Chain A
Amino acid sequence: MSSTLVEHEAAAKAPRPVTTGTPSPRRSRRLSWGRITPYLLILPAIVFELLVHVVPMVVGVWMSFIQLTQFYITNWLSAPFVGFGNFQIALDFQNPLGAQLARSFGVTLAFTILTVGSSWLFGMAASIVLQRSFRGRGFLRTLFLIPYAIPAYAGIITWKFIFQRDTGLLNELLVDNLHLTDTAPFWLIGDNAFWSLVIVSVWQQWPFAFLMTMAGMQGIPEELYEAAAIDGASVWQQMRHITLGLMRPINSVLLLLLFLWTFREFNTPFVLFGARPADSANLLVVNIYQSSFIQWNFGLGAAMSVLLMLFLILVAALWAVWNRKVRRDA
């Protein structure tokens, strides 16, 4: 060991001098620069974070209180202040716009529960199956991740072709090959549009659930399963008490993330159905888009967005409370 290192270790072990009173001016100046420099370095990031996220959000909240229509679009400051007027329109369920918002909230909730539930279920099932080593496991893992790697737009457009009534692959299979029905069903309009939306969204999202759960399962020691098997635990008991038990923190975060992402899904319905989806597939964010960019009532659209944000904050808060309770009980 070199003498320098010995001196350094001795200095580290030595008791720190007790500071009494004001430090010397020289030491204070050197310390303050040392403290400021990291903040200076992250300053650009903070500025851009404010510009990209915080300022638009504040502006969005402000927009929700003004009557921002096409007449004021180039001079927002002249738009009349309407207080909670936009919120009243959005929440007046006797009014067609309010009724449409309520309907789309229900559709979005059902869509989210189905999509998140199915994605998680498929992801977990695939992770469990692929935990054990076998020939072709690597190929299957890669195959399952393909939907996640394909650009969203390309994937959705492909599904749009598949769902075409006259020329789509799905109807060719159902009607021409399997003869399950005489008349070709519609998949992009009417009630079936909802199921098309769910199928495409699950196809897009389940690889992420698979990735997360697979990573989580890698951390579960094999010995736990071996010990449980020796103790006579069935496969179901092993899965319930070991796999699901140890995966709970990961699943908890995963389900919250999937819920938040799915609830504000826009790309899939917009690419699949255009700006005017069937009522059965009219998700909340598409509805907000219609109010803002088709009705050209940006104030009303902003009010709807604020309501959506408040709902998602509420969900996240409930999740946090529930999560803390579970940890306390454990």
Chain B
Amino acid sequence: MKIRILTAGAAVLALTVGLAGCAQSGESPAPTDASKPYAGTTIKYWATNQGPSLDADVEILQPELDKFEEQTGITVDLEVIPWSDMTNNTLAAAVSGQGPDVVNIGNTNATTLNTTGAFLPFEGEDLDAVGGKDKFLESAWQTTGPEGVAPTSLPLYSQVYGLFYNKALFEAKNLEAPTTWEELVDAAKAITDPATDTWGIVAPAGTVNVAMHIQYIFTAQAGGSPFDKAGEPDFVTDENIAGVRQYLDLMSEAKVMNPSNAQFTDGTQATSEFAAGKAGMYMAQTGNVAALQANGMDPSQYGVVPVPAPAGGDEVGSFIAGTNISVFKNTKHKEAALEFVKFMTSPEVSETLNKAYGTLPPLKDVPASAYEDFPELMDMWSLILADHAIPMSQVPTVSAYQANVGGGVVALFAEAATGATPTDADIEAMLNEAQQKMATS
């Protein structure tokens, strides 16, 4: 009998000790070097997948993290997260408090995530600790949230959309890079030859976030916006319908896009089709240069121009896209996390990482060295960022807009691919339904 009691007691004790051990595992050891006040601390960093693969990201980031450890004595436990898992993982971490100390996020979601209250606001001493606002480019800073609200994320890698075109395919048809949407469609028609599986343009038409990005840009070209001045959804307008129509017509009306693109649920398939010479043009972000390189396409083989607007439309070729970095508010290592953010947004690290990812440094006086061998590309990306890019609407429901309108555009592409011809009434019905769904977000 005593043995049974002892066994039960030991089980309860073991459980208690185990739980107590878990609770203590987050504590930091006392510092031993005054110049490295947070030495011995380990912080966890979730990085979204920026490179051609998760492994490639680890190879790119780890040397920088090792340098950080050497400088500060702070160890960074890195985990690279696929984009598809990032939102759910971030939300789960926000709810449970068991997530990482530092995370990077798509800046489209910055305002939405800001409203969760899960992240540390960069203001006062905390903003000073990471080097202040003035080190960032004004355009990049606009991605951190609405004016007057303390941002909870800082720019890390900046991107814009551009129109990549295959020089060989254009030369073969004696074509010039398009400057208007009409020229783009004409060039695409000239290149398209379904018999040889060559298409004018390729797009990840089954991808919800890209569908939303392109719809936003094209609506802006038509002079509209998905949100009114008060930040409320205003989807059912002529400009929004025109934005969807312009994108959809590449497949349904001009027939210059392979219908199979409608089942491309991420960008990798579109990138590999373009790199393989199966498409003449591709609307993609700056960082795509690294993915094209990984698919065997050298920057000398393609050119980039701003995504053109229809004649008479506004010259908007992109929104200011990219990746921001945030600190979880409930971190037990706030100072070490801020130290890490300062390091990641320092000029040297920014130049190194943005070069590796083919993205644009969001800092003043830091060159976009990813394109140092191709100055015409560097000039083009800088031009798009300066003259053709607008900020994404900084409203809390932008993630729901992405889900509802982006998802609706994907569904219309599926209809177009399977034989239907979506009308303006279909687009209007989709936007109306998306707007009604927003009421519960």
Residue positions of A touching B, CB distance < 8 A: 30, 33-34, 37, 40-41, 43-44, 69-71, 73-75, 89, 95-97, 164-166, 186, 188-191, 273-276, 278-279, 290, 293-297, 300
A-B contact pairs, 5 of them (CB 8 A): A70-B112, A74-B329, A186-B259, A188-B263, A190-B415
Q: Smallest CB-CB separation from A75: which chain B residue? A: B117
Do the beta carbons of B116 and A30 come within 8 Å of each other? Answer: no
Of chain B, the residue at the smallest CB distance from A37 is B4
| Chain B residue, CB-CB nearest to A78 | B117
A188 to B115, CA, bound (A): 36
Contacting residues of chain B (108-146) with chain A, CB-CB under 8 angstroms: 112-113, 115-118
Which residues of the partner chain A approach B396 to less than 8 Å between Cβ atoms? 70-71
CA distance A75 to B330 in the complex (A): 13
- The answer on a CB contact under 8 Å between A290 and B115 is no
Query: In the complex, what's the smallest C-beta–C-beta distance from B100 to chain A, in angstroms?
Result: 15
What residue of chain A has the Cβ atom nearest to residue B263's Cβ?
A: A188
B interface: dominant SS: helix
Measured CA separation A41–B260 after assembly (Å): 59
Q: Is the CB of A37 within 8 A of B91?
A: no
A189 and B262 in contact (CB under 8 A), knowing A74-B116, A276-B407? yes
B366 CB within 8 Å of chain A: no
- Interface positions of B from 1 to 22, Cβ below 8 Å from A: 1, 4-5, 7-8, 11-12, 15
Q: Residues of A contacting B414 with CB < 8 Å?
A: 186, 189-190, 278
Report yes or no: B440 in contact with A186, Cβ–Cβ below 8 A. no
Quick check: A276 and B116 within 8 Å, CB to CB?
no
Q: Are B263 and A74 in contact (CB under 8 A)?
A: no
A35 to chain B, nearest CB (A): 11
Whether, in the assembled complex, B311 has its beta carbon less than 8 Å from a beta carbon of chain A, the answer is: no
Q: Which residue of B lies closest to A188 (CB)?
A: B263
Contact in complex: B95, A95 (CB < 8 Å): no
Q: Contact check: which of A41, A89, A97, A164 meets B263 at CB < 8 Å?
A: A164
Docked complex: B414-429 residues within 8 A CB-CB of A: 414-415, 417-418
- Is there contact, CB below 8 Å, between B436 and A165? no
- Whether A74 and B118, one on each chain, are in contact in the complex, defined by CB atoms closer than 8 angstroms, is yes
Q: How many angstroms from the CA of A21 to the CA of B152 in the assembled complex?
A: 73
Nearest neighbor of B11 in chain A, beta-carbon distance: A44
A300-B440 contact given A73-B91, A275-B208, CB 8 Å threshold:
yes
Provide the bound-state CA to CA distance between A274 and B5, in Å: 52
Query: Which residue of B has the minimal Cβ distance to A163?
Result: B263
Contacting B95 at CB < 8 Å: which of A74, A96, A275, A276? A74
Chain A residues positioned under 8 Å from B88 (CB to CB): 293
CB neighbours (8 Å) of B436 from chain A are 95-97
The verdict on B403 contacting chain A, using a C-beta distance below 8 Å, is yes
* B180 CB–A CB distance under 8 Å: no
Minimum Cβ distance to chain A for residue B331 (Å): 13
Contact between B411 and A41 (Cβ–Cβ < 8 Å)? no
Say yes or no: B441 contacts A274, CB within 8 Å: no
B253-286 interface bits toward A, Cβ cutoff 8 Å, 1 = contact, 0 = none: 0000011101101000000000000000000000
**C-alpha gap A217/B262 in the complex (Å):** 47
Assembly CA distance A297 to B112 (angstroms): 13
Q: Is the CB of A96 within 8 A of B116?
A: no
Contact across chains for A190 and B437 when beta carbons are under 8 A apart: no
Residue of A nearest to B434 (CB): A96
If A97-B436, A275-B84 are given as contacts, then 4 extra A-B residue pairs at C-beta distance below 8 Å, sorted by A number, are A73-B94, A186-B417, A276-B411, A296-B91
- Tell me the bound Cα distance from A278 to B206 in angstroms: 10
CB contact between B115 and one of A33, A70, A95, A165 (< 8 Å): that residue: A70
CB distance from A56 to the nearest CB of B (A): 12
- Name A73's contact: one of B5, B116, B260, B440 (CB within 8 Å): B116
- Separation of A276 and B415 alpha carbons in the complex (Å): 14
**Which residues of B in the span 192-245 have a Cβ within 8 Å of any Cβ on A?**
197, 206, 208
Chain B residues within an 8 Å CB radius of A37: 1, 4-5, 8
Query: What residues of B have a CB within 8 angstroms of the CB of A189 in the complex?
Result: 206, 262-263, 414, 417-418
Quick one: closest B residue to A276, CB to CB?
Answer: B407
In the complex, the answer to whether B95 meets A30 with C-beta atoms within 8 Å is no
Q: What is the minimal beta-carbon distance from B332 to any residue of chain A, in angstroms?
A: 16
Known pairs A37-B8, A296-B400; A74 contacts B441 (CB<8 A): no
Whether B321 sits at the interface, judged by CB under 8 Å, is no
- Considering the complex, give the chain A residue whose CB is closest to the CB of B117: A74
A239 to chain B, nearest CB (A): 43
In the bound complex, what is the Cα–Cα distance between A191 and B400 (angstroms)? Answer: 26
Query: Chain A residues with Cβ under 8 A from B258's Cβ?
Result: 166
State in angstroms the CA–CA spacing of A290 and B437 once bound together: 12
| Residues of chain B within 8 A of A275, CB atoms compared | 84, 208
Q: From known contacts A70-B396, A73-B95, A290-B403, infer whether A190 and B418 are also in contact, taking CB-CB under 8 Å.
A: yes
Once A71-B396, A190-B418, A296-B400 are accepted as A-B contacts, the answer to whether A89 and B15 lie under 8 Å apart by CB is no
Contact partners of A73 in chain B: CB under 8 A:
91, 94-95, 116-118
- Answer yes or no: B339 CB below 8 A from chain A CBs: no
B440 contacts across to A, CB distance below 8 A:
89, 97, 295, 297, 300
Chain B residue nearest in CB terms to A89 = B440
Q: Knowing A34-B1, A295-B400, say if A96 contacts B437 (CB, 8 Å).
A: yes
A289 to B, closest residue via Cβ? B88
CA gap between A89 and B436 in the complex, in Å: 11
Q: Contact at A33–B417, with CB atoms within 8 Å? A: no
B95→A41 contact, CB < 8 A: no
- B13 → chain A, closest Cβ, in Å? 12
B352 within 8 A of A: no
Interface assignment of B186: CB less than 8 Å from any CB of chain A: no
